[in-house]
Amino acid sequence: MDKGQYWDTAGLASALATCEQVQNGQMSVAAAPGGAGVIEVILHEHGDLAVVVGVAGLEVQASVALVPVDEIVDGAVFEHRLLRANKLLPLSTFGITDIDGREYYEIFGQLSAGSELEEIIEELEALGRNAIDAAEMIEAWKAGQTG
């Protein structure tokens, strides 16, 4: 990516599809099911974790759905815990997103659409690690092991 140029979703998908990580089987790239204008990056080294990636304006956005909001008991306390844990998960943040009419907790990252491909891949890999850590934290919460 030349300075002053920005990714669009199609260009990013094309570049990711030919990157080293795809060529050596660490990740794969496809159109996201049902998602117009977004792609799905599967991180094979993170248990085939699906990351939804899109470009909106001048930002590349990447997101992993974690758990439906309605499956969490004592949501206010849980959300407080997520906010405290956010510092421990670099380059990522927590949010709530709607998927097919149901709210989900998500972990996501954003960076400039002018970023180099290597920086975007680094963000995807960091998001994958953080999503695994967040999923473990959520499972512990659901099991009552919050301390």
Decide if 115 is inside a domain. Answer: yes
Q: What is the CATH number of the domain that holds 96?
A: 3.30.1460.10
User: For residue 85, what pLDDT is reported?
Assistant: 83
Q: Is residue 147 part of a domain?
A: no
For residue 29, being part of any structural domain is answered with: yes
In a domain, 70, yes or no: yes
pTM: 0.89
Percent of the chain residues topping a pLDDT of 90: 71
Q: Decide: residue 105, CB within 10 A, 0-12 exposed, 13-18 middle, 19+ buried.
A: buried
Using pLDDT thresholds of 50, 70 and 90, give the confidence band for residue 3: low
Q: Does a structural domain hold residue 146?
A: no
Q: Which domain does 118 fall in, by range?
A: 9-141
Alpha-carbon distance 141 to 61, whole Å? 27
Q: Answer whether residue 58 is part of any domain.
A: yes
Angle of CA points 109, 126, 122, to nearest 5°: 90
User: Is residue 82 predicted with pLDDT exceeding 80?
Assistant: yes
Q: Work out the average pLDDT over 99-103.
A: 94
Lowest mean pLDDT among 1-5, 34-38, 49-53, 101-105: 1-5
